[in-house]
Chain A
Amino acid sequence: MGIILQRITTAIIELEIDTIQELVTTALDSGIDPADVLTAATDGMDEVGRLYEGKEYYLTELILAGETMKETLEILAPALQDKGDASSGKDHVILATVKGDQHDIGKNILHSLLIPQGCIIHDLGMNVDAGTIVTKVRETGAKVIGLSSLLTMTIDQVRVVHEALVAAGLRDCVKIIVGGAPLNMELALELGADAYAKDATSGVQEIKRLLAS
């Protein structure tokens, strides 16, 4: 049992996108608890994050690892639901690229790295206006909003979202984390955000911290 779980961890680390579904299926067919399979896969993703931080892995590897994780969850998600591991009690996170900006690579990588963290992700896509984000916060009770802006011209939209949340009386209920080429921590705070992440892996760590706070 331990061998197949170890094999799943290794397959995620070594980006074996072509074989991961077969491994997960074999694990489930042999009676392994889906939660243990998820833990094995998450361990693999954690190691991928470490390899990225250590500059052994780069963006291509990070994306490929995210794709491999998605393949894993395609098989695993129904099994987890059957076991009653429903979404109740989990934290909601909203992701969006701000209004006026249509770049989403960073946001999508963050999305795929957040999947194994057990939160419920509402990815609103690109070019999302503040009103849509406010509505989603109200609807889901999300604790964190991750905003992406690649363009210098659109970073002011972070402030627009912040002010819209204040106007809606929701700002104290939700944290805003931002990322994107023109941003840094100083600018993030100036625009009304609570946190900044320089890349997707640090974004995961920051979001975990914000959810725990």
Chain B
Amino acid sequence: MDVVEGITMSLRREGEPDRVYSFVQGIMRKFERTFDERYGDDLADEEIVLLPGKNIVIHKKLGFDSSWYGTPSPEIHYGEKHDKLLDEFQERWSVRNQNYFVNNNGSLMNRGMLSGYSYNYFVDGLLKERETWEAWHEDYEIEPIPPERIDHVNEALHMGFEHDFLIIPSTGLLMEPLIAKIGIDAIGRYAYRSPEFLEKICKTIMKVPYEKMRFLCKTDAPVIIIPDDCAYKGRPILSPRMYEKFIIPHFSKVIKMAHDAGKLVIFHSDGKVEPYYNLLIDAGLDAHQSIEPVAGNNLAEIKQTYGDRLSFIGNIDCSRLLPYGSRHEVIEAVKDCLRVGAPGGGYMFSPCTDLTDSCTLENVETMMATYKKFRNYPITIP
């Protein structure tokens, strides 16, 4: 079975494939550097796999089967009022803090450092007032993604196939851009005070994800991932009632677009998403990726409750286990994930977030060695 067959079978919950397949979101730069220092000089030529737009050397060396892949964005045009407002915001906020700047989304950002690299932190969405939102988006237009970019994505996909590796193109959705543009406080305010205006905001934001999904449907990608963090520790950000009202209608539409084009859809969100699972299942979702243990996700419980209707990807902890756990703890955690997630299919093995800068290479290698040892069906784990 090749990775495409194995992964699609897992996502469709069509029983047990030959083995459990694996996925990794991304790999942070310091971790990459550690890997390069350890293996960089010893890699054989055939191990250096560079796809257009994605370097999968580490992924392949560690033994992952799939990873997500950035999708080209449509060109966005703003009007004069936007440009004027942006200038005003830049001036106003840089006076308060010289590291502050405002981006085209209307997000206030703070230039900082993360693990020795420059990193821009999100501070707040500034388009909180109705007048500001409307002025910012007057004459807002997006252009279709040029069709020639389809070839670029397909080239990466097919090169991946040649190396038995699946890249999974992504398109964002709604929750993250909403927070980025207006902030959580304004989402709550409009949801309670002017729901019709919040719906209008959602509709404007969704122009980009709809275009990206239209584009991806024309590619050869068998699977599409929608990253849109909507939850944190213990619960989602919005109540299920609000999520159903404002987000799910759009979510259903993009899933339908993908399914109509014969593609499967994975949803990525950190945090505890479970209160939304019934809504997401009704919307047609195929799989949820992350299943962060520290957010309160119990893989055994969710597999038992929803496993016949939704596939799961993840559940290896990147907060404590991979950075600080002992070798024994890593081995036991991997065995637990496979023991409860794998039976019957509908599960892919994965760290619950990126391989972060604090994950140790030793622990990640132990994780992958244990996964490879026990991943074959029928699962037999002592």
Contacts and interface: CB of A to CB of B under 8 A. Distances in A.
Interface of A: 15, 17-18, 55-61, 63-64, 67, 100, 102-103, 105, 127, 151-153, 181-184, 187, 198-199
Interface in B231-285: 232-239, 242, 270, 275
B294 interface: yes
A152 B236 contact: no
Given A58-B235, A181-B294, A182-B319, A152 B356 contact: yes
A187 B239 contact: no
A63 B191 CA distance: 13
Contacts of A60: 184, 187-188, 191, 237-239, 242
Contacts of B218: none
A199 B234 contact: yes
A181 B295 contact: yes
Contacts of A127: 112
Contacts of B239: 56-58, 60-61
**Interface SS, B side:** mixed
B4 interface: no
A67 B185 contact: yes
Interface residues of B, number: 35
Contacts of B193: 17-18
Contacts of B191: 60
B323 A152 contact: yes
A198 B237 contact: no
Contacts of A18: 193
A100 B233 CA distance: 21
B319 A17 contact: no
28 contacts: A15-B192, A17-B189, A18-B193, A57-B239, A58-B239, A59-B236, A59-B238, A60-B184, A60-B188, A61-B239, A63-B184, A64-B192, A103-B121, A152-B319, A152-B323, A153-B114, A153-B356, A153-B357, A153-B358, A181-B233, A181-B270, A181-B295, A182-B294, A182-B319, A183-B294, A184-B294, A198-B234, A199-B233
A59 B320 contact: no
Nearest to A186: B320
B319 A181 contact: yes
Interface in B187-212: 187-189, 191-193
B115 A153 contact: yes
Nearest to B293: A184
Contacts of A58: 235-239, 242
B318 interface: yes
Given A18-B193, A60-B242, A152-B358, A102 B110 contact: yes
A132 B98 CA distance: 20
Contact of B185 (A64, A102, A198, A199): A64
Interface in B313-334: 318-320, 323
B320 A105 contact: no
A58 B239 CA distance: 5
B184 A59 contact: yes
B356 A55 contact: no
A61 B319 contact: no
Contact of B237 (A59, A64, A102): A59
B376 to A, nearest CB: 31
Contacts of B318: 152
Given A64-B188, A67-B185, A152-B356, 5 more contacts: A58-B238, A60-B237, A61-B239, A64-B189, A199-B233
